[in-house]
Each structure stands twice: as C-alpha cells, then as structure tokens.
A and B are shown apart, each in its own frame.
Chain A
Amino acid sequence: DVKVTQSSRYLVKRTGEKVFLECVQDMDHENMFWYRQDPGLGLRLIYFSYDVKMKEKGDIPEGYSVSREKKERFSLILESASTNQTSMYLCASSGPLTDTEAFFGQGTRLTVV
C-alpha cells in the first residue's frame, strides 16, 4: 500500500520558533510537494522538488524553506514561525509520468501561538 507519512498530525509552536515538518514517501517518487490549506483559499503550493537536492518555489514560498537530501524525504522549515502560518500543511508526492496522481499525507495541523 502506497504511503506518504507526515511526522506529526498536530503541532503547537510559539512565535519565533524554528519549525520542521517532515514528510516521507515509500513510492520512489521523484516529485514531492508542500501545500498549505486554509478555509476559503484552497490548497496553495509552497515549494516542490523534482529531484534530490532540487527545489522550486511555489505560489507562496515567503517565510518557508525546504530540504530534500534523500529521495524519500522532503522537509518544510519555518525559520521563524508567525501566527499567520497557522494552517493545515499537506505533503504530496507523484511519479515521473505525465498527469500522474498526487498522493497526499494525512496533513499536519500547525498552530502558532
């Protein structure tokens, strides 16, 4: 059974903390993504990676960075968490074929207080 696993379901952090969200996939997928999902705004792409050590900015990269040191792992980093980064964060992966399915993790609900 294919799987994308996010390290935490729920996370509460303080303003100014450095936050790491981890995502691991077991499908040998080249592509990995980080989205945030907010009511009324839908899924917005933060960063994506199409290969190890490669990364591309999505639509809302400000305040975030990413790391992809191994093919199966894609980390999202909030350098200095702020309250407006309170959100649901979704990691996804997809294979190399055109129009392929995106497999999502269960999401991490991050609250910054």
Chain B
Amino acid sequence: TQLLEQSPQFLSIQEGENLTVYCNSSSVFSSLQWYRQEPGEGPVLLVTVVTGGEVKKLKRLTFQFGDARKDSSLHITAAQPGDTGLYLCAGVQPGAGSYQLTFGKGTKLSVIP
C-alpha cells in the first residue's frame, strides 16, 4: 500500500491552462514537501508546508496543506512549457527522524506550447 497517493499520474495540458495535482494519505504528516524533477536530473525542492491549512505561493504555483495534515495540493495557474516535469510529494511522519521522507509516485506533467 502506497503511503502517499498522487493523482493524476499523468497530465497533458495546453499552455495557459490551469491544473491541480493531489497528494493524499490516510496518515498524518508533520510536514510535506513538493519536488520537481526534470528529465535526466534529480528532484529539486519547490516548497515545504508544515502547518495544517497552510497555503504557500511560488509565482504561479500554489501549495496547500490540508487541515488534518494528511493531504496536499499543488495548483498551477496559466501553465507554461517550462512547468513540464515530474512533480513529487514527500512527507515526514510524526516521530520519524528528519531523514525519513516518504515519496509519492509522482505526477508527470506535460505542457504543450
């Protein structure tokens, strides 16, 4: 059983469209991170959310942590081809060491010009 479920698995959209990807779990996390991975590279951190209900914005990207700290979403406004990549969520469970990240399987986003 996957601890963190990401949906959708694949997403192909036109430039300028909006989209939301989801990261869901039945477990509580003390924090959740979102990474973006481009082809042939390692993942790079976009944001960390820590407080239930927290919303963080990074230019056209909006990240939200659920009130119960079991889920998170990433919303992209007016997607651009440069947003193409694999988006991964990763969580730290309460009581776990800071090094114990659990990753979702990712959402592969393609933005078509």
Binding site for B on A (CB under 8 A): 4, 9, 31, 33, 35, 40-43, 48, 50, 90, 92, 94-107
Contact = CB atoms under 8 A, between A and B. Distances in A.
A18 B103 CA distance: 29
17 contacts: A9-B40, A31-B98, A42-B103, A42-B104, A43-B103, A50-B97, A50-B99, A92-B42, A95-B98, A98-B31, A98-B92, A98-B98, A99-B31, A99-B50, A99-B98, A102-B90, A104-B44
Given A94-B99, A105-B42, A99 B48 contact: yes
Determine chain A's interface SS by DSSP, over half rule.
loop
Interface in B43-93: 43-45, 48, 50, 88, 90, 92
A106 B45 contact: no
B90 to A, nearest CB: 7
Given A98-B31, A99-B50, A101-B48, 15 more contacts: A31-B98, A31-B99, A33-B99, A42-B2, A42-B88, A42-B106, A50-B99, A90-B42, A94-B98, A95-B98, A96-B98, A102-B101, A105-B42, A106-B41, A107-B40
Nearest to B102: A45
Interface in B19-56: 30-31, 33, 40-45, 48, 50
Nearest to B6: A42
Contact of B105 (A42, A103, A106, A107): A42
Interface of B: 2, 30-31, 33, 40-45, 48, 50, 88, 90, 92, 97-99, 101, 103-106
Nearest to B99: A31
Determine chain B's interface SS by DSSP, over half rule.
loop
Nearest to A94: B99
For the complex of A and B, 5 pairs with smallest distance between CB atoms: A104-B42, A42-B105, A31-B99, A99-B31, A43-B103
B98 A104 contact: no
Nearest to B105: A42
Given A92-B42, A106-B40, A97 B98 contact: yes
A41 B105 contact: yes
